Amino acid sequence: MSDPSTWDSLPQRLPDWFRDAPLGIFIHWGPYSVPAWAEPTAELGAVPDDAGWFAHNPYAEWYFNTIRIEGSPAAEHHREVHGDAPYDDFLDQWDASDFDPAAWADLFRRAGADYVVPTTKHHDGVTLWDAPGTGDRNTVRRGPQRDLVGEIATAVTEAGMRFGVYYSGGLDWHVRPTEPLVSGEDVHDLKRPRDDEYGKYCASHVRDLIDRYSPDVLWNDIGWPDENFHFEEGGLGELLEHFYAARPEGLINDRFAGAHQDFVTTEYQAGEIPEGLPWENCRGVGLSFGYNQVEDASQYMSGAQAVRHVVDAVSKGGRVLLNVGPRADGSFHELQVAALESLGEFMAEHKAHLAGSRGLGELELDGVDWARAVEKDGMCHVFLSGPTGAVRLDASALPGGFDWPTGGMEATLAGEDAAPVAISAARAG
């Protein structure tokens, strides 16, 4: 690695727009949306058996890997339904005829999102734009025959939101094929590519994304090839310098293998909330990021659950990058849309209280199942959820330093299936 002081010279950023953004939208869309199949097991972080996770992976976007694990339900499904067809057949079968980027952007904006981050290349190596060095293995030359990244970028920015890009720098099962990945050690150490040639291939892609689409977030995944940790031509250091120079309000996540970061990510239940650092939780509306036709209401978050998830993160100093997985044709499952619509109804009233707030965390209140608090502009806002009906809250149990009624405060809860209700008080004195 180069002199650490060189890495230290890169900017450390928390731009106002990101600090004040409670919600972003993640989009996982690729050839995996054609088979659209995974075993709906459990959320990441809720399964203790590492090897069992990969054979029973609920992430449909990992289909290319999971179908190669002998004896896995995905392998059996692929054999029965698709006759062991090569994965790239799905790229050619991908028909995005119902894709309406302006309608997508309008839905995300109404949901209360401030930024949108689509996948540009996932671990299968298929790029959603005509990326350099990919030949015809991209969505411009095959399948949809459209620059999906460019269309999303234009729609998102025209709708007044920030645009970011997800890119899998750590894995590419086409350019750097491996045996099936069956453990976290395989993914992050034993079977990931480390060579500078692959690193320069990735760097050329990300540089092209920066120059073409002007993203304000670089959201890398699964690390970066070790030998590319340098500031020479085509190195990661040079790439990040280019990004920061080109995008004055841009920032990067913490998945560049420790080289540099502006914010920390957690995923579903995996990862620790950092103390005093900006952070973001990413998760799907369901158990998968890519669309999974097997999922139903028992796997999808309800609107109320989605609202509570966002408020919970903000109350702890973070934000949520909530993922939707389109069908191959570009339409969304109605339960994904319903969750975003419910978020939008809540955010229309309460986003102003969340954006740029100081998180006050969880509260324990009698008669209330769930309570979170934030402070914004001298006001404390407490969000409450529990059984339908009136409840009297003891002022001593509410955040101190605010003018709560001395005799307590009454709130009328709307039930677990409804979005939280809010009570507020001004700072004392």
Whether 305 contacts 49, CB under 8 Å: no
DSSP letters spanning 149-163? HHHHHHHHHHTT-EE
pLDDT at position 2 is 42
Confidence bin at 5 (pLDDT 50/70/90): low
Whether 270 contacts 41, CB under 8 Å: no
Mean pLDDT check: name the lowest of 43-57, 94-108, 144-158: 43-57
pTM for the whole structure = 0.97
- Rounded to an integer, the average pLDDT of 194-200 is 98
Q: How far is CA 196 from CA 127, 199, 228, 307, 402, in A?
A: 20, 5, 5, 43, 56
Q: Is the pLDDT of residue 429 over 80?
A: no
Cβ burial, residue 332 (10 Å; 0-12/13-18/19+): buried
Q: DSSP E strands: which ranges in 234-357?
A: 251-252, 264-267, 279-284, 318-324
- 237-282 pLDDT tens trace: 999 999 999 999 999 999 999 999 999 999 999 999 999 999 999 9
Residue 391: DSSP 8-state? E
- 109-149 pLDDT tens trace: 999 999 999 999 999 999 999 999 999 999 999 999 999 99
| Residue 8 CB neighbour total at 10 angstroms | 9
Whether 352 contacts 360, CB under 8 Å: no
- What is the distance of C-alpha 162 from the center of its chain? 14
| Residue 20 CB neighbour total at 10 angstroms | 14
CATH 3.30.2010.10 describes domain 4-354: no
Mean pLDDT check: name the lowest of 5-9, 101-105, 281-285, 406-410: 5-9
Q: What is the identity of the amino acid at 246?
A: A
Which H or E run includes 63?
helix 63-66
DSSP letters spanning 80-121? HHHTT--THHHHHH---TT--HHHHHHHHHHHT-SEEEEEEE
Do β-strands 115-121 and 162-168 pair in parallel, antiparallel, or remain unpaired?
parallel
- Rounded to an integer, the average pLDDT of 100-116 is 98
Q: Which of 243, 28, 57 is nearest to 121 (CA)?
A: 28
Q: How far is CA 358 from CA 200, 316, 330, 355, 371, in A?
A: 41, 8, 37, 9, 15
Residue that has been written with the tokens 């957690």 in this structure: 266
Q: How far is CA 163 from CA 96, 106, 203, 379, 396, in A?
A: 21, 14, 19, 31, 43
Helices 148-158, 101-111: crossing angle, 10 deg rounding:
50
Please tell me the distance from the alpha carbon of residue 364 to that of residue 368, in angstroms, as a whole number: 8
Q: How far is CA 225 from CA 183, 208, 220, in A?
A: 19, 18, 12
Which H or E run includes 75?
helix 73-82
Task: State percent of the chain over pLDDT 70.
Answer: 98
Q: Please, what is the Cα angle at 373 between 368 and 375, to 5 degrees?
A: 155
Task: State percent of the chain over pLDDT 90.
Answer: 95
Q: What is the identity of the amino acid at 103?
A: A
Side by side, the strands of the sheet bearing 264-267 are: 251-252, 217-221, 162-168, 115-121, 23-27, 318-324, 279-284, 264-267
pLDDT at position 251 is 98
User: Is the alpha carbon torsion for 410, 373, 15, 249 positive or negative?
Assistant: negative
pLDDT at position 1 is 43
Please tell me the distance from the alpha carbon of residue 217 to that of residue 251, in angstroms, as a whole number: 5
Please tell me the distance from the alpha carbon of residue 27 to that of residue 322, in angstroms, as a whole number: 8
Q: Which of 54, 42, 23, 28 is nearest to 269 (CA)?
A: 42
Radius of gyration of the chain measured on its C-alpha atoms = 22
- Rounded to an integer, the average pLDDT of 360-365 is 96
User: Is the alpha carbon torsion for 198, 199, 203, 206 positive or negative?
Assistant: positive
- Rounded to an integer, the average pLDDT of 164-191 is 96
Please report, for the chain, the start and end positions of each structural domain, with discontinuous segments joined by +: 4-354, 358-426
Whether 337 contacts 104, CB under 8 Å: no
